[in-house]
Structure 1
Amino acid sequence: MKNRYMPTALLLYLSYVIGGTTSVLIAQNMDYLSLQLHTDNAGVAYVLSGIGIGRLAVLLISGILSDKFGRKPFVFIALGLFIVSYVGILVSPNVAIGFICAVIAGMANSCLDVGSYPALMEAFPSAPGTATILIKAFISGGSFVFPFVTGFIIANNIYWGWSFIFFIVYLFVLGVALLRMPFPNHKIEASDSSAEDATVAAEKRFLSKPNIWIEGVCLIMIGYTSTATFYVVSIWMPKFGAQVAGMDYSVALRLISYYSIGSLISVIITGWMVKALYRQVTFVFVYPLISTICLVLMYCYPTPILCKVASFIIGFTAAGGVLQLALTTMAEFFPRGKGKITGLVYTLSSLATFSTPLITGYLSKTVIADIILFNAVVDACGVIFALIVMFRYKTVFGKTYRFAKKAVSSAPEVSVAAVGAE
């Protein structure tokens, strides 16, 4: 039977084409905003840090209120805040006003998340993991299109603000379309007894008690390192390509498209491999290791070809779901504390979106290449955290752990959606 929420879901996905990539939209227009706000790259990076502050400020409270009042109001609040933010950025006369607009965009992003993720899981209860991971695909799609739009505007000397105006109209039309769309009843939940039975079954698989101060802290910190890695690349890769690798800026903007293609492909391939072949903890270690190597190579040998290849690979590994996979690994270790720990991981993720623009903005005042080196160091820390988690995984779930999923007979299955639903 056809799912009556399919049109609603499609519109929610389409909202992430714009709403999930605000930082990319601002970064793509960094030069123009620098002139309008009477600042430099570091000033625009400071403005970008406001997105993280906005997310952090309302993330937990908006989630609680979404459970109480439903998902639909928060989706509309998000769309409205995005429109206010984009209009504000267009007319901002200085960094202070631009920063406030970025904070509003961050708040909008949190509201969109707490409205859309639960709504999609409730609309497709038999496949909540697939429903939520598709959001990543639409975010990647938006990141892929933006550089071509910006590049076209630059090449034809068109007013840079048209990209913002188009997205304002886009979000308004989405809001009108969503007005009459049905949302699932947020009060319908699984019984407490069934949830308790699942938790007890998961805990019986432990051979050793999980330790929140070891693997717990490491996985929470991966919330920071994984977000920082792809966030820095999405903001600074065009600048690095133009100023360090010697690419024309309109061409360097397309590096984000390569990055987004990698992310989009990764969502499909990684989702399949996690389901059929390998444990998610494997990717939490392997993907940051690969992206760290790419960042180091790009720092040492900044050529246009290497930048293109590295952008794709980093998109595949860093932006392809490491944060989500870390969350599902966390759910395996701590099946009774998924809600609380999910909040901690996303809090560290929000801290990354706040702090990395400030740090990289400062670094941009000296050498742009140092930003890539900084990113490599952060990603390397994530590799170390993941390595500790893998050793602890063997201790908790058994010495038979291998990369191949079929070799792990003792670890429970936990979906991304199971984490987010708590």
Structure 2
Amino acid sequence: MSTAVSKTGRKLYPSAFILYLNYFIHGIGCSILGQQVMKEALAAQWGTADDAVTLVAAALGLGRLITLPFSGPISDKMGRRVSSLIGIFSYAVFFFGVAYSPNMQVAYAAAILGGAANSFLDTGVIPACVEILEPRSGLATMLTKFFISISQLLLPFMLGFVAAANMSYNTILIAAAAVILVIGVLTFKIPMPAQEKAADGKNESFIQNLKHAKFALESVALIAIGFTCTATFQLWLNCAQKFGTEIAGMKDASIMQTWYSAGTIVAILLTSVLVTKFKQVRFLVIYPAIATMMLIIVYIVRTPMICQIGSFVIGYSAAGGVLQLATATVNDLFPKIKGTITSIIMIASSLSNYTILSAAGKVSASSGPQAVITMNIIITVIGVILALFVNMRYGKLVDKVEN
């Protein structure tokens, strides 16, 4: 039985690769608004201050928050392909919308669609790839972060290329829209894994699944980690370059993005090996603890070199797969409602994206980027405490699932 599943999974590896390509484009979508040069260009396009771009980036979280209650059940009921295609089309609209936005309001609406795209990709691509690579759920979710990190690593070079060619930075947005539409055509044609059906042959709604799911305090804490770990890397991704420029005196803060992405890639490659030897839940404590220490060092030392080192370490410890490992762990605890449970933890992540970045935009404008670092330290410490609690009780959660 297991051999047959393995052979079927191997036949679908090309499909998984095409699905993962969506996350290469997503890496551009979720980080380009955090690039200082892009902030300045869009602020000039809209006739506003660059802190307004952070507020637009927060709308990505709002879009996810609105659509995640629906995207999971749509994925479970109508299929992973449908959910993925909705995400692809929405992302194309987001890229075109921001590129041609005449003001912040239009860009904000486009960003909401970008968040919706993210939620449909999360509940379509992630469960599909988990099903293809089963039982390696940790690896399946880590690979989404790998593709995101590759594009984030290349993004500063893309920005440099268009600048050297005297092209608008919006060229990257337009190119990303075109590429993801091509991926959409491929996604429409590729074979997809067969989904497990409910015992009675029916797929239930998001609310019905919630009613049947039994959430222990430990699993609620695990879902809350989706909030804290997202805040850690989103605050760094969207606000650290301003800290580097204004507080640490960096001449070219875009190099922080390169170090951040490099750290993320190293974490993914190393963690993908480590999760086969150690329980993935252990990393939910270790990595945020490392991020906390690095944030404190960056806040105290405030030099260009520390900002670069900090970017690598934060990329490794905060953006190197903590959210993906938390998602994989939740999927393991609720195996019959993978799409819905992925929606739940991504709702926590989206809530973090929207509320924390909205707050950060206001805090940065009133108190400076150093106050954002302080905010990040506090949230990350809370994440460490939650993860310690989950680890202490994890064995009992697994026993409940098995019984």
1:43 Cα offset (Å) = 1.2
1:337 Cα offset (Å) = 8.6
The equivalent residue for 2:251 is: 248
Matches within 5 A, 1:145-184: 145-155=154-164, 157-184=166-193
The equivalent residue for 1:260 is: 261
CA separation of 1:83 and 1:315: change in aligned 2, threshold 3 A? same
Q: Over the residues paired in the alignment, what is the CA RMSD in angstroms? A: 2.8
1:173 Cα offset (Å) = 2.2
Deviations for 1:363-409, whole angstroms, at most 9, x for unmatched residues? Answer: 22131121111111111111222233344458x48xxxxxxxxxxxx
1:212 aligns with 2:213: no
Q: With structure 1 as the length reference, what TM-score do the two structures score?
A: 0.81
1:7 aligns with 2:14: yes
Amino acid at match of 1:230: F
Consecutive unaligned residues in structure 2, runs of 5 or more: 1-6, 201-213
Kept in 2: contact 1:227–1:323 (CA 8 A): yes
1: CA distance between counterparts of 2:145 and 2:198?
26
Matches within 5 A, 1:345-360: 345-360=345-360
Kept in 2: contact 1:41–1:361 (CA 8 A): no
The equivalent residue for 1:18 is: 25
1:367 aligns with 2:368: yes
1:38 Cα offset (Å) = 1.8
2: CA distance between counterparts of 1:69 and 1:338?
14
1: CA distance between counterparts of 2:215 and 2:122?
29
The equivalent residue for 2:315 is: 315
2: CA distance between counterparts of 1:97 and 1:318?
31
The equivalent residue for 2:228 is: 225
CA separation of 1:108 and 1:266: change in aligned 2, threshold 3 A? same
The equivalent residue for 2:206 is: none
1:128 Cα offset (Å) = 4.3
Amino acid at match of 2:33: I
CA separation of 1:73 and 1:282: change in aligned 2, threshold 3 A? closer
1:282 aligns with 2:282: yes
CA separation of 1:87 and 1:315: change in aligned 2, threshold 3 A? same
2: CA distance between counterparts of 1:248 and 1:27?
17
The equivalent residue for 2:207 is: none
* Corresponding pairs, count: 379
1: CA distance between counterparts of 2:271 and 2:243?
28
Amino acid at match of 2:68: L
Kept in 1: contact 2:91–2:117 (CA 8 A): yes
1:344 Cα offset (Å) = 3.5
Range with greater deviation from structure 2 (71-80 or 358-367) = 71-80
Amino acid at match of 1:163: I
1: CA distance between counterparts of 2:127 and 2:222?
23
Deviations for 1:317-349, whole angstroms, at most 9, x for unmatched residues? Answer: 111222233345556777899776654332211
Amino acid at match of 2:238: I
Amino acid at match of 1:159: S
Kept in 1: contact 2:227–2:351 (CA 8 A): yes
- Describe the SS at the equivalent of 1:151: helix
1: CA distance between counterparts of 2:20 and 2:80?
14
Consecutive unaligned residues in structure 1, runs of 5 or more: 193-209, 398-410
2: CA distance between counterparts of 1:52 and 1:30?
18
Amino acid at match of 1:235: N
1:145 Cα offset (Å) = 0.8
1:189 Cα offset (Å) = 5.0
Matches within 5 A, 1:27-66: 27-28=34-35, 29-66=38-75
1:240 Cα offset (Å) = 1.9
- Describe the SS at the equivalent of 1:184: coil
CA separation of 1:367 and 1:105: change in aligned 2, threshold 3 A? same
Kept in 2: contact 1:23–1:235 (CA 8 A): no
More helix, by proportion: 2
1: CA distance between counterparts of 2:336 and 2:80?
25
Kept in 2: contact 1:332–1:413 (CA 8 A): no
2: CA distance between counterparts of 1:333 and 1:167?
36
Q: Percent identity?
A: 36
2: CA distance between counterparts of 1:341 and 1:83?
26
Q: With structure 2 as the length reference, what TM-score do the two structures score?
A: 0.85
Amino acid at match of 2:40: D
Deviations for 1:50-107, whole angstroms, at most 9, x for unmatched residues? Answer: 1111111111212111222222222222221111111111121211111100000011
Determine which of 89, 96, 104 is the counterpart of 2:98.
89
The equivalent residue for 2:211 is: none
2: CA distance between counterparts of 1:182 and 1:335?
23
2: CA distance between counterparts of 1:74 and 1:331?
18
Amino acid at match of 1:70: G
CA separation of 1:316 and 1:327: change in aligned 2, threshold 3 A? same
CA separation of 1:256 and 1:95: change in aligned 2, threshold 3 A? same
- Describe the SS at the equivalent of 1:275: coil
CA separation of 1:140 and 1:160: change in aligned 2, threshold 3 A? same
2: CA distance between counterparts of 1:336 and 1:190?
7
2: CA distance between counterparts of 1:84 and 1:112?
14
Kept in 1: contact 2:123–2:342 (CA 8 A): no
